[in-house]
Each structure stands twice: as C-alpha cells, then as structure tokens.
Amino acid sequence: MRVKDPWDNQLTKPLLTLFLFISVCGFIINSFYQIQQTRSFSEDVRAQVKAQTLNAAAEVGEELEKIMTSVDRFAREVTATPDKTFVLKLLEDEFAVNEDIYSLNVTFHPYQYQHNVRYFSPYFERLTGIERKYNLVDYDKPYKEFSWYHRPLKEGPIWTEPYYEPQNNVLMTTYSVPFYQYKNAKREGKLPLGVVPSDISLDHLTASLKELDLGLGGYGILFSEQQNLISHPVFSHVREMENLGDLVSETEFAYLSKIAGCFEKDLDYLFFNGETLDNSEHYAACTKVPHTNWTLITRMSSDMFYMDRDERRQNNIHIIAWGAASFIFLILLMTKIRKLTWTQNNILLSVTLILSTSLVLEFARSFKTLEQTDNVVITTQAQREAFSSSYSDRMETMHVATPEYVATGLYVESLEFVNANNVHLTGHAWQKLSASQKTSVEPKLAFNHTVNSKIEEAYRQDLKDGGLLVGWRFSIETRQQFDYSKYPFDHKSIELSFNEADMGGNVILVPDLESYEKLSKMDNPAVSPDIVLDEWLLKSSYFKYRFESYNTDFGLDTFFNQNVAPELNYNINIEREFIGPFVTTLLPVMVMVCLLYACVVSMKYTPYGDLRNNITAVVFTILLAHYSIREHLQIDEVVYFEIFYFLLYLVSSLFMLIAHQYYKAKEETGDGRIYKRLANIWFWPVMTISIFIITILTYY
C-alpha cells in the first residue's frame, strides 16, 4: 500500500497561511512591547535624573539665597544709618542674631569712615564654629584676592570666584554688596561708600549634595564660572582648584570632554546616558546653580535604576523566535505554491534557523547578569567616598558609631582552575592605616570562601603622614558555585572576597584606589597584564561591595550589622575562548553530522546491512566524543553543548527507523520515495530547528 504524502493535503496551504499570520502578529506585538519597555525605562531614568539634578541645584541655590537675602537687607540698613559710627554696633548685633550667615563684614572705602582712619573693615566669622573678630587692611590694593571689594564697587552685588582658605582648610566664596552714604545716593549717581561681604564655606554650601540619593556610587560636583572644580567627594581635587582643561586629561574625569555642553553659558539642563559616557552603569546630568554661573554635574549609579536584564534577554528571544517562525512559514508557503524548490526550501530554512540561533547566543551574551542589583561597583575615588558617606549615614540612622575605613589593595599574579568549582590565586595584598587608626586598628587580612589559604607578611613600613603600610603575599584556593550549563559560550565571575579578620570589629575595608594608575573595569587595575589564563579571556575586573546578610550574630554583642554588612570583593570576569571548544568539541560534532547526512544521501545506493553498520559506527564515534567532553569538564550538570550529542543519538535512531521503513516500502511496493524525501529534504531543517529550540531553552 502506498503511503500518501501529507504535503499534498488541501489543508496544508490555509494552515501555513494561518500560522504565518499568527507568527507575524506575534513578532509585531513582541517588538512593540520591547520598544515600549525600553522607551519607558529610558523616560523613567531621564525623569529621575532630571528631578535629582534640579533639586540639588535648587537646594544649593536656596542656601545662596539665604545669604543674599540677609546681606542685602543688612547693606540697606547700613545705607539707611545716618551716623556711620553706629555701623560697628549694627554689625555686632546682626552677626549675633542671624544664624544663616557664617561671617559678616562692613568695609569702608579708605578714609570714608573717618577722615583720619584709612582702613575700617571689622570682620566677624564663625566658619569653624569659634567666633572671631578681625579688622581687614590693604583691601584697596589691586590684588585678585580683594575682588570681593573692587568688583561690587563697579558691578554691584556679586558672588566671587571660590578660593582656597588654608587657615581653615576650606574652600570659600564671598557674596559682596555695595552700600551708600544715604538711601537715595545710588539713584542720584553717587559712588558706593563701601561694601558688605559675607563669606561662606563651600563645605556648608554643598552639604546638600552629599545628602542627595544618587545611588551608592553616585555623586555631585560643582564647577565655578571660571571652570574650576569647587566641590567633589575627593577634597584633594578641590583643594588644588583644578581647572576643567587639566581635569579632562585624567582618567577619572575623561567623561567631562564628552559633556562639554554643560559649560555653555546658556545651559538650562542636559542629560547624558551611559553610552555617551562609555560607561553603561552611570548617567550624568548638568544644570546651572541659581544666582550664580556655577555648573552642577550629577553622576548617578545604575543601582538607582533597576533594569531586569533577564527580562530584556527573554523579550529579545521572544522577538527572535516569532521572527524565525514567520520566515519558516513564509518559506514553507512559497514552497507549497511552487515558488521555491525543495532544495531552496532546505537551504533557506537551515540558514534562517542558524542565524536565529546566532542571534539568541549574542543576546544571551550581551544581556547576561553579572552583578546582583544590590552590589555596588567602585571604580573611582568619588564613588568610594560617596559609598563611605552613604554607609556612614546608614549606620547613624541605626545609632551605630561611624566605622573605621581601612584602605586595602590587591594585585593578582596568577589564576588557575583547580577543578570545576575551585580556583587557585596568588598575588599581593596590603593595608594602609592612617595615623589615628594605628592605635585602634590592628592590620589583619583574610579571605572568605577559601578551602586553602596561605598569607605571609611581606613588608611593614611607616608612611610619611604618620600612617602604617602592611603588605602580605597570598596563595589561596577559593571555592565558588560556577554555572557551566552554557558551555562553551559561558563566562565566569570570580570573586575574591576580603575579610577584615576581626569578627565583630567596626571596620570596613575600602579599596586603596590611589595605588593604581588606571581604574576602569577594562583596565583590570589589580590583575597582572602577564597573567596566564589558558582557555579564558580576561574581560574586566573591579572592586565592588556585596551586602552579606547573616541570620546570626556569631555570639558577639558587637556584631551589630549582620543584615547590612558590606563585604569588599575584587571581581574578575572571564569569558571562555571559543577557538578551543570549537576545535575540540564543535568541529567533531560538525563532522559527525556530515557523516550522518552522508549516510542519509547514500541510502538509495546502500544495502540495508551496510547502512546500519555505517550509522552504528557514527553513533559509536559520538559516544566517544561525548565521553571526552564529560571527562574534560568534570561536572555533574548537563551543559548546553552536551545536548547536541543527545540530539545526534535521537536523530540517528530516527533515521534508522526511516531507513527501515524505506527498505520495507521499497520491497513491498517498489516505491519508497516519501521516506527518501523525508530523510534527504528534512534532515538539515530538523537538525537546525532542534538546535534553535535547545538554544532558546538553555539561554531563556
């Protein structure tokens, strides 16, 4: 009896048309959803960044306005006082009752207070918390430091360019307003009699920046009108009054050259995403501070804006799957209406599925999740200071004493996988204690999650600032649970976890970033450039904090932060080189598939016994290759590439069944073409669609 070919059924064409329509609709709907999700996330990020930046600028502006309002009012009172000899008493009273100002001064033009007094400039200040009184002199000299006196006489009320005041080790700015002999003197064109200046520390002025919620690694910085850095989490940059032109040549500030629009005079507000900054984990925005021409730049870390990378990957896989299905049904429909031959159908289906599989692998690689959302990556000094400040504030809300932050460094010289889950590392580590910490903190170092650990002190020396440097050599074997399920397209994130070795001590280790020349993730600051990684590629490495949560206090009364304990880690991200697995694993599989197809093609010309022996030989070769990969990996789980071997077992068995039916039909009816077509035409499409489905299930 002749078997009827289901392809000739009348329902085939309408069913293919229906499936094509459903697939195209699925592709359009999922693509639209993904675009909407991406746009919504982008809009949410922009809105939050804008709100935070404008609020920060407004808070700084409010502090400025308080000073301006007080000084303007007092200058009017001085102008309205007929007898200027009462100005000193007026000044004393104003300074005593006005808590919004930290210094106040009345400076008369030489000989304008009294004809026999050249300099009269009483100055009251409490910038450091202690009230002091001075009388300033020589302010009429044409020096830049006296711009607070000369400029208001010509320009009216002004904010001076911030300047460093070494006596109090602070950065200062001055608001200065001219006053007159009497109330209508200015209207009558009279010259000012002097000025009323008030100094304010930028530490106080920018305190609101440190309180902003910009993420644990985010921070705000200020540039003056002359583009000098006047506020930054790392005060050394501010103390040096570094200029924009010099800063852009430094690695940490290289991003400033890409946001040059922030320094335009007509700036209102600008936003920059991670792509612009070459750092997908941070966003930046800038605006002008009210009442000044200062530029505020905020950088916000990615922990402020959670993006579910798993969901993004899954959505992209949905789009690829629906797109591939659309092409498959379109190709089948065109074959049905005889626009394509079966050979063309075979090739187009296989190419479509291979390209779709490649896209799935690429999206899986691009949207892999390396970090948990609560991990804080530290790659700059500013991020480190911002994290320390944020954590100290958190401890304060818990009524816990501020911890000691101990600078800790690391340099990895070798890395080797001992087995599937154990990694052996060697290198150097060190700690720097400040002069004040030497008496209260004992330099100690240990590593968490190790099965073998050997740490020897290598050097100990006193630092010029009175601190202490202690270095160790280490050789450790750390144990982690690595995921091999995606072999050979897998990556590993090796965590070298520090332990301050003082359980219950109020000590937090912070990365000693000053000891490294380059700090970006791609620069791998703490990994030797000559490190040998065998079949792995070093992709990035960086310091980070991971918040460990313990359900015990280990019996210690001083172990108070078991729910928010930040653990300093050095993360080394590596990716498997494809060429090695390709030669040892993928190439043999490709050869076996081709041999199996050769058996399929030769079915018409080969006796049944010979064909069976040929397939058996191929299956035996597959078994040996499968055993080889299991022996190489030494793991318990089934990996992605290993599923191909199971697929080959299934295809071989299925082909043996088809061959049996072919020979049986040929013997009984003399016509086994349907089985020959089934084997020849659908071999590659079935193989590629199986690989496509396996890839989706693995990386979804």
4 phi, psi to nearest 5 deg = -80, 135
547 conformational bin, left if phi > 0, alpha if psi -120 to 50, beta if neither:
beta
d(CA 589, CA 94): 88
Q: Give the lowest-confidence range in 95-99, 133-137, 672-676.
A: 672-676
For domain 206-304, the CATH architecture is: 2-Layer Sandwich (3.30)
pLDDT at 235 over 50: yes
Q: What tokens appear for 121 in the block?
A: 């400039």
Q: How far apart are the first and last CA of the chain?
A: 45
Report the candidate in 455, 541, 547 with the shortest Cα–Cα distance to residue 501: 455
Helices (H) and strands (E) in the chain, counts: 16, 23
Residue 603 is predicted with a pLDDT of 78
- 82-91, 301-310, 553-562, range with the lowest pLDDT: 553-562
Tokens of residue 50, six digits: 């804008």
Structure tokens at 513: 């970033």
For the chain, residues classed under CATH 1.20.58.390 are 578-699
H/E element holding 460?
Answer: strand 450-462
Residue 72: the pLDDT is 94
Q: Residue 214: which of 50, 357, 432 has the closest Cα?
A: 50
Q: In whole angstroms, give the CA distance from residue 512 to residue 408.
A: 5
The pLDDT of residue 4 is above 60:
no
Dihedral over alpha carbons 636, 641, 642, 647 (to 10 degrees) = 150
Residues of the chain with CATH 3.30.450.20: 65-200
Residues 568, 510: contact at Cβ < 8 Å?
Answer: yes
Average pLDDT, the chain: 83
CA 359: distance to chain centroid?
A: 25
Apex 464 CA angle, 462 and 465, nearest 5: 100
Q: Is 655 exposed, middle or buried (0-12, 13-18, 19+ CB in 10 A)?
A: buried
* Residues 280-322: tens digit of each pLDDT: 557 788 999 988 889 999 887 665 565 677 788 888 899 999 9
* Joined tokens for residue 611: 């064909």
Tell whether domain 578-699 is in CATH 1.20.58.390.
Answer: yes
Helix (H, G, I), strand (E, B), or coil: what is residue 426?
strand
Q: How far apart are CA 427 and CA 411, in angstroms?
A: 6
Residue 90's pLDDT band (cuts 50, 70, 90) = very high
More confident residue, 666 or 433: 433
Average confidence (pLDDT) over 351-355:
91
Considering only residues 561 and 183, tell me which one the structure prediction assigns the higher pLDDT: 183
The CATH label, of 3.30.450.20, 3.30.565.10, 3.30.1360.30, 2.130.10.10, for the domain at 65-200 is: 3.30.450.20
HSE value, Cβ hemisphere, 13 Å, CA-based, for 605:
4
CA distance 259 to 277: 8
Percent of the chain at pLDDT exceeding 90: 24
Please give the model's pTM, rounded to 2 decimal places: 0.61
pLDDT of 37 above 90: no
Q: Which residues pair with 195 in a beta bridge?
A: 107, 178
Q: Cβ(208)–Cβ(118) under 8 Å? A: no
Cis peptide before 82 (omega within 30 of 0): no
Distance CA 115, CA 290 (A): 40
Indicate the SS3 state at residue 518.
coil
**Separation of alpha carbons 197 and 149, rounded Å:** 8
CB 502 within 8 A of CB 648: no
- Provide CATH code, domain 375-576: 2.70.170.10
Long-range contacts of the stretch 461-465 (C-beta < 8 A, 24+)? 463/432, 465/434, 465/435
Q: In this predicted structure, what is the pLDDT of residue 654?
A: 85
Whether 106 contacts 178, CB under 8 Å: no
Residues 467-522 pLDDT 10s: 899 999 999 999 988 888 888 788 888 989 887 655 556 788 899 988 887 777 77
Contact call for residues 668 and 515 (beta carbons, < 8 A) = no
State the pLDDT at residue 1. 43
Answer yes or no: are the C-beta atoms of 84 and 113 closer than 8 Å. Answer: yes
Tokens describing residue 143? 């020096």
The pLDDT score that the predictor gives to residue 278 is 56
Cβ neighbourhood burial of 225 (10 Å; 0-12, 13-18, 19+): middle
- Kindly indicate the confidence band of residue 596, based on its pLDDT and cuts at 50, 70 and 90: confident
The amino acid at residue 187 is R
Q: Where in the chain is the domain with CATH 2.70.170.10?
A: 375-576
Statement: residue 640 has pLDDT above 60: yes
Which pLDDT score is estimated for 22? 93
pLDDT of residue 324: 92
Q: Distance between CA atoms of 71 and 94, rounded to whole angstroms?
A: 10
Q: What is the pLDDT of residue 625?
A: 83
- 152/177 Cα distance (integer angstroms): 6
The vertex-481 CA angle with 478 and 483, nearest 5°, equals 130
**pLDDT tens by residue, 184-224:** 998 888 999 999 999 988 777 666 666 666 665 677 888 98
Going by pLDDT thresholds of 50, 70 and 90, the confidence category of residue 409 is: very high
